[in-house]
């Protein structure tokens, strides 16, 4: 599959992983950004099923301020999302774009080579300083394996 036009590295919510791959985090409570292209693949981290979108998307049941309901499925979807960052415009999003999204982005950072004990700080430095909101989300990141 040919590589899609990538995210703008300076675009809202775009995180550059150490390998150079780009992924966008987003708050679903906010409107879809009007500038730039749409995602080609997304994982939505919500307690209830998200609305349909015109791109390929998966729903991971993940209640607000909690952890994924199915950790095996979470590892599968996050691994798929990381893999697809090499060819697709991947978006990870939850309601507010910080807790669940930040946690998922930290897991992608681990898949990209960031040591688990540094992944939360990496995402806070390069995505949102308030990402990964709860102690159990931080523990989940430190113990994440695909």
Q: Is residue 112 part of a domain?
A: yes
Output the domain CATH number for residue 131.
Answer: 3.90.190.10
Q: Is residue 99 part of a domain?
A: yes
In the sheet with 41-46, reading across from the earlier edge strand, the strands are 14-16, 22-27, 90-94, 41-46, 56-61
- The pLDDT assigned to 26 comes to 97
Q: Is residue 43 part of a domain?
A: yes
Q: Is residue 5 part of a domain?
A: no
Confidence of residue 3 (pLDDT cuts 50, 70, 90): low
Lowest mean pLDDT among 2-16, 27-41, 79-93, 100-114: 2-16
Q: Is residue 26 part of a domain?
A: yes
Domain total for the chain?
A: 1
Q: Is residue 3 part of a domain?
A: no
Percent of the chain whose predicted confidence (pLDDT) is above 90: 89
Rounded to 5 degrees, what angle do the CA atoms 12, 79, 13 make?
A: 5
Q: Is residue 48 part of a domain?
A: yes
Please name the residue ranges forming H helices in 57-98. Answer: 71-84
Q: Is residue 2 part of a domain?
A: no
Q: Which domain holds residue 138?
A: 18-142
Give pLDDT tens digits for 39-94: 999 999 999 999 899 999 999 999 998 999 999 999 999 999 999 999 999 999 99
Rounded to 5 degrees, what angle do the CA atoms 78, 84, 86 make?
A: 130
Confidence of residue 35 (pLDDT cuts 50, 70, 90): confident
pTM of the model: 0.95
Measured CA to CA, the distance from residue 89 to residue 143 in angstroms comes to 27
């Amino acid at each position: 599959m040919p590589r899609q036009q990538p995210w703008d590295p300076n675009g809202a919510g775009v995180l550059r992983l150490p390998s150079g791959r780009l992924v966008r985090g987003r708050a679903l409570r906010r409107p879809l950004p009007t500038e730039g292209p749409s995602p080609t693949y997304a994982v939505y981290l919500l307690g209830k099923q998200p609305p349909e979108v015109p791109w390929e998307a998966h729903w991971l049941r993940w209640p607000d301020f909690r952890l994924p309901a199915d950790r095996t499925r979470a590892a599968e979807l996050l691994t798929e999302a990381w893999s697809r960052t090499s060819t697709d415009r991947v978006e990870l999003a939850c309601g507010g774009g910080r807790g669940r999204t930040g946690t998922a982005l930290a897991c992608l950072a681990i898949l990209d080579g960031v040591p688990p004990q540094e992944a939360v700080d990496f995402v806070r430095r390069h995505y949102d300083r308030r990402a990964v909101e709860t102690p159990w989300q931080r523990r989940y990141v430190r113990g994440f394996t695909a």
